[in-house]
Chain A
């Protein structure tokens, strides 16, 4: 809406959906094996998404920039 349609890299917002897909469908990761140094997959997979979400936002930030165009 508004000025946003003119913004380049607007598609970059779609990147932000990745953490939702990765975390809101538990059948993807609700299992114990494989463990990493004793920690069940269920736990370390979700911890890994902390870095994943940060990465996704950093890329989106680079593409969108500081403009107020959302």
Chain B
């Protein structure tokens, strides 16, 4: 059944965003046939725009759908997103200004650009670039999935709606580059902010307050038939290690994703990044509130539509609790929330391809204009690849691929982050560590049939499962340390590649 009132509000808001997206190219106009301009918005984003861009980029629509769904389906462990999105900011505060500075000084557009110079190794740079592209593709597909679950709830033909949304997304990204998601992020945040405010006050009001909600959740917990029983209100000891490893592993991985690095490199100064590490924390509060929707759905007895599974629980809750136009507003917020990260992700993956694959291996000495053109086209390919992915691959598989992506991207940490601090790292050791991390990670994922990110490692005790990405990263790190120490012992000295100490310092250092 088509929900008319919801749909009309949804369409009006979508049109508004389309206009903003196409107009964005004219904002602080510059030559968009240069990768610095198209792919990084000219590196001119100040604190405010960076706040909207990074916030809109990282707290994706899928997060808003999946986090409460995880709480609804798996209980307290689903809340690991809260500690995860808190501890990520001290990490950013500490590390990212340095990566930004060296990238600014040397004109890097991607993390792989840095890896290539730092280790003087095209091969390692290629490995890091391909890891980024492969990890990003299913992430884009998940954003489409986020749009899909709300469209499903409104009773519209899903395929046609998705294709329309993606043609629009592809075109405005192609025309305006990173300026488009940066400006749309402002609209998105306004919509999401209002939506969260409504959801987090009106639904508890309908359900009799938070006390009543958690009382009812407790009743559900007591009378459940699930074996082993789901723990909702707190974490059982058997899940402590899983919870901590999920939070730490995810936090370490987040800023290795190409779309996160693109958002950071587009800032206009170190100061912008440090300040945003502080200012972006309120988003984590919003995410926490959204996670509570999972508890509200349990208390309200919401049943998600069969087609979406647990991931449909938030749209279903919105649909049953809110009047039509308000629900349409909320759905538009979620869908538009998906467009921002999808756009940045496709730009980031496209930059990796044009910079570190195309110019490095296919057309050495390509001009800036050629590079930007290849990037624009690659962004189209990436997006329609992701769309095909979601239309033709089973939903559960898309989610599984994204989980695997997290395992893969964390393996780039030594090459991208550790390299900023440890001069002794050896390029072959880092490459071997990357390969070891990816191999073991995929092995453990396959042991879980790619359906779970937690695995029972004998070391941690028979009961305690751990996040695969983190354990694979420890393997990786072990290889990097031992390998680099060996190389050092055998006479290989400091490997700074093409970089000097001055490359890490602000040009106008006082």
Contact = CB atoms under 8 A, between A and B. Distances in A.
Interface string A39-63: 1111100110110011011101100
B270 A13 contact: no
Interface residues of B, number: 51
Contact of A23 (B76, B247, B281, B282): B247
Interface stretch (B36-44, B204-212, B312-320, B453-461): B204-212
Contacts of A68: 97-98, 101, 270, 505-506, 509
A2 B423 CA distance: 10
B394 interface: no
A20 B87 contact: yes
Contacts of A19: 86-87, 90
A14 to B, nearest CB: 11
Dominant secondary structure of chain B at its interface with chain A:
helix
B76 to A, nearest CB: 6
Contacts of A54: 278, 281
Contact of B79 (A46, A53, A57): A46
Contacts of B270: 66, 68
Contacts of B209: 37-38
In the complex, which range does the number of interface residues on chain A fall in? 35 or more
A60 B91 CA distance: 13
A47 B292 CA distance: 11
Contacts, number: 120
Contacts of A38: 209-215
Nearest to A46: B82
Contact of B87 (A30, A53, A61, A66): A53
A52 B427 CA distance: 39
A49 B423 CA distance: 34
A39 B234 CA distance: 11
Interface stretch (B21-29, B180-188, B235-243): B235-243
Contact of A61 (B95, B101, B210, B274): B274
B440 interface: no
B163 interface: no
B83 A24 contact: yes
A47 B212 contact: no
Interface string B262-277: 0000000011001101
Given A26-B243, A46-B82, A61-B278, A16 B248 contact: no
A43 to B, nearest CB: 7
Contact of B278 (A2, A25, A57): A57
Given A16-B93, A39-B214, A24 B244 contact: yes
A38 B299 CA distance: 13
Given A1-B421, A20-B90, A53 B281 contact: yes
Given A19-B86, A53-B87, A70-B94, A58 B278 contact: yes
B450 interface: no
A53 B237 contact: no
A54 B428 CA distance: 39
Contact of A66 (B236, B244, B274): B274
B284 interface: yes
15 contacts: A13-B94, A19-B90, A20-B90, A23-B87, A24-B248, A26-B235, A26-B240, A38-B210, A38-B212, A42-B79, A42-B235, A43-B233, A53-B281, A57-B90, A68-B509
Given A2-B504, A46-B86, A57-B89, 17 more contacts: A17-B90, A19-B87, A23-B87, A23-B247, A26-B244, A30-B234, A30-B237, A32-B233, A32-B234, A35-B214, A37-B210, A42-B233, A42-B234, A43-B292, A47-B82, A49-B86, A56-B90
